[in-house]
């Protein structure tokens, strides 16, 4: 990797040359996968000046160690989830871990972290209907001992989802093409890809009882429409990112879209959601050291057009982080039946 920051990194973000457990060839390989996860080994080898066998061996090692995963990431709203909610929760300190573990065990909760700041817990949930979210609040959170306060923020749209940490990040932005009706084969294919997108078209066709040409055509259509993208998700820890912050921001309404675009262009920002509620935008940002976070909040975000106010909740522990939205019935299942927490 060159000593100068790669294009697209926000001003002031430092890049460490030494990544724990990885050498520079590994880092270059991950960056290449982020830019095009399904490219053939021969093409990667040519780009990196390596042999095909070296690429294959290194990729197997990275995948086995979960330093990187190659998976399909679906756009929740495109696959039937009409209600995407970010929840900020305050909990009695003696019940914090119990409540967090209980919430993380529930199917609609995709992400959950313990944090410092306005909220003790930040959680992200997906629901097929708004009434499902109401049932979730009443039937689950309403019965959890120790919950003091909850604020829910409806996600209006995601402008960046699971952004890459090394490449330019263009594929992390949801597509804008109209989404046609999805059939059972589309959902079956996406369920396979969300678990393991390294499977080739022949294997996928055999599993799904269809042709390779149909598999390739459907993968292309799903990606073009922004329904799903194939992504190489690097483990932030092995790239030197030791912290996560959930940053809530209020904006001048006239500059909201511009602000979301600028924030999404920052390399260390993985996800950007435009919301209705306490915050207009919520972003999840990675940082290596507290100094990096301080610089990001004051220098980088301080120059974003239209930003009026921000609050940062820094992570103490990530309890759950999942990109797997699709269950056996396509759009996933709603929350399980209400059950009281006896604690």
Residue-wise pLDDT for 253-281, tens only, equals 999 999 999 999 988 899 999 999 999 99
Please state the φ and ψ torsions of residue 223, each to the nearest 5 degrees: -70, -40
Query: 41-48 and 52-64 helices cross at what angle (nearest 10)?
Result: 110
Q: Using one digit for the tens of pLDDT, what is the confidence trace for 273-302?
A: 999 999 999 999 999 888 999 999 999 999
CB atoms within 10 A of CB 21: 12
- State the pTM of this model: 0.80
In the chain, what is the straight-line distance between the N-terminal and C-terminal CA atoms, in Å? 52
Query: 41-48 and 24-35 helices cross at what angle (nearest 10)?
Result: 130
Q: How far does Cα 178 stand from its chain's mean position?
A: 22
Q: How does DSSP classify residue 296?
A: I
At 309 the three-state DSSP class reads strand
Burial 112-145 (b: 16+ CB within 10 A, else e): bbbbebbbbbbbbbbbbeeebbebbeeebbeebe
Q: Which two tokens stand for residue 205?
A: 């066709």
| Cα distance between residue 227 and residue 233, in whole Å | 17
Identify the residue with better confidence: 327 or 130. 130
CB atoms within 10 A of CB 53: 10
Let me know: does 311 contact 278? Beta carbons within 8 Å. no
pLDDT category of residue 251 using cuts at 50, 70 and 90: very high
Q: Is the pLDDT of residue 35 over 90?
A: no
Q: Using one digit for the tens of pLDDT, what is the confidence trace for 191-200?
A: 999 999 999 9
């Amino acid at each position: 990797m060159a000593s100068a920051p790669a294009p697209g990194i926000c001003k002031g973000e430092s890049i460490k040359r030494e990544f724990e457990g990885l050498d520079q060839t590994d880092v270059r390989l991950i960056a290449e996968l982020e830019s095009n996860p399904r490219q053939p080994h021969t093409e990667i080898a040519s780009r990196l000046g390596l042999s095909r066998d070296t690429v294959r061996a290194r990729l197997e090692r990275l995948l086995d160690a979960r330093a990187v995963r190659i998976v399909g990431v679906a756009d929740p709203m495109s696959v039937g989830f009409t209600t995407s909610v970010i929840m900020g929760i305050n909990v009695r300190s003696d019940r914090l871990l119990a409540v967090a573990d209980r919430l993380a065990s529930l199917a609609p909760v995709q992400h959950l972290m313990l944090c410092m700041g306005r909220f003790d817990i930040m959680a992200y949930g997906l629901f097929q209907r708004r009434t499902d979210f109401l049932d979730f609040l009443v039937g689950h959170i309403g019965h959890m001992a120790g919950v003091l306060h909850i604020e829910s923020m409806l996600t209006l749209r995601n402008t960046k989802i699971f952004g890459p940490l090394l490449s330019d990040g263009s594929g992390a932005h949801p597509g804008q093409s109209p989404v046609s009706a999805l059939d059972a084969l589309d959902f079956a294919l996406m369920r396979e890809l969300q678990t393991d997108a390294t499977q080739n078209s022949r294997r996928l066709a055999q599993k799904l009882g269809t042709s390779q040409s149909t598999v390739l055509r459907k993968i292309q259509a799903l990606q073009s429409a922004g329904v799903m993208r194939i992504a190489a998700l690097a483990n932030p820890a092995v790239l030197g990112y030791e912290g996560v912050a959930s940053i809530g921001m209020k904006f001048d309404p006239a500059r909201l879209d511009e602000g979301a675009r600028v924030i999404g262009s920052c390399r260390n920002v993985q996800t950007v959601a435009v919301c209705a509620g306490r915050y207009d935008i919520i972003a999840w940002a990675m940082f290596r050291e507290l100094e990096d976070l301080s610089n990001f909040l004051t220098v980088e975000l301080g120059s974003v057009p239209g930003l009026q106010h921000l609050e940062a909740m820094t992570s103490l522990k990530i309890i759950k982080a999942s990109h797997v939205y699709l269950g056996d019935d396509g759009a996933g299942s709603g929350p399980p039946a209400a059950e009281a927490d006896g604690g």
